[in-house]
Amino acid sequence: MHIAEGYLPPVHAIAWTLAAAPFVVHGARELTRAAGQNPRNKLLLSASGAFTFVLSAIKLPSLTGSCSHPTGTGLGVVLFRPPVTAVMGCIVLLFQALILAHGGLTTLGANTFSMAIAGPWAGYGVFLALRRLRVSFEVQVFAAFVLSDWATYVTTAFQLAWAHPDVNGGLSASLVRFLGVFVVTQIPLAIAEGLLGVLMFRVLGRIAPEELRGLGLGAAITTDPRTAETVSPEGAQ
């Protein structure tokens, strides 16, 4: 992530675009619904998009045809769920391709599938699992951010391996090679992103408690040390 312009064969580029399209279309409908449901959601939607844009624009060279960076999709995943994250991520990737030459138009579908679909759904899955286990909200957030990042790069490694299989070992050997390169950067980057996510929700819990309650995230609301009052009922989530 992001896979560079022209790095995928045309058939692969088209296939990933077709695979991503239904998720993005559904996400656009969910985004409209979330914005119309509560006018206050528009601020959090904007913050989520900006967060994804800034973090995913931090580029570290990783391997030929790709790079490593945080994804920033965890915030949208926890706040608005993966469908909304799909369309926001696609918009972010489109602007990055056009303005920053980061990724490409022919690889937009593949990059959207990895960063805005596969990663967010993996992160959301672990978020829901930990929520049912009633672990602390901060652990849920940390895991969602980390898994969203890691799943993105596992998907990207598969996309690259499928497009460029090893001459001798085929897809599996190529997949191991790509994963081996990504793991060096993405393990620490994902952990750092998870910690940043926890910090973000600590801030949101103090400045936007009503918005979080409206999204069913009462557990993110913290005690305001200036008033010493708990602004969230025990167990609200």
Q: What is the pLDDT of residue 62?
A: 61
Cα(3)–Cα(153) distance, rounded to whole angstroms?
A: 11
pLDDT for 220: 77
Summarize the confidence of residues 149-162 as an average pLDDT.
93
Mean pLDDT (whole number) for 138-152: 95
In angstroms, how far is CA 34 from the centroid of its own chain? Answer: 18
Flag whether pLDDT at 15 surpasses 90.
Answer: yes
Outline where the chain has alpha helix (H).
10-37, 41-56, 74-99, 108-111, 119-132, 137-163, 170-207, 209-214
Q: Tell me what pLDDT residue 237 has.
A: 41
How far apart are the C-alpha atoms of 230 and 219, rounded to whole Å? Answer: 11
CA distance 54 to 86: 17
Per-residue pLDDT tens for 30-48? 999 988 888 888 989 999 9
Q: How confident is the model at residue 74 (pLDDT cuts 50, 70, 90)?
A: very high
Helical (H) or strand (E) element with 66: strand 66-68
Domains plus CATH for the chain?
A: 10-230 (1.10.1760.20)
| Alpha-carbon span 114 to 153, nearest angstrom | 7
The pTM of this model reads 0.88
Looking up tokens 């303005």 gives 99
Write the burial class of residue 192 (CB in 10 Å: 0-12 exposed, 13-18 middle, 19+ buried).
middle
**Across all residues in the chain, what is the average pLDDT?**
87
Region 166-179: mean pLDDT is: 90
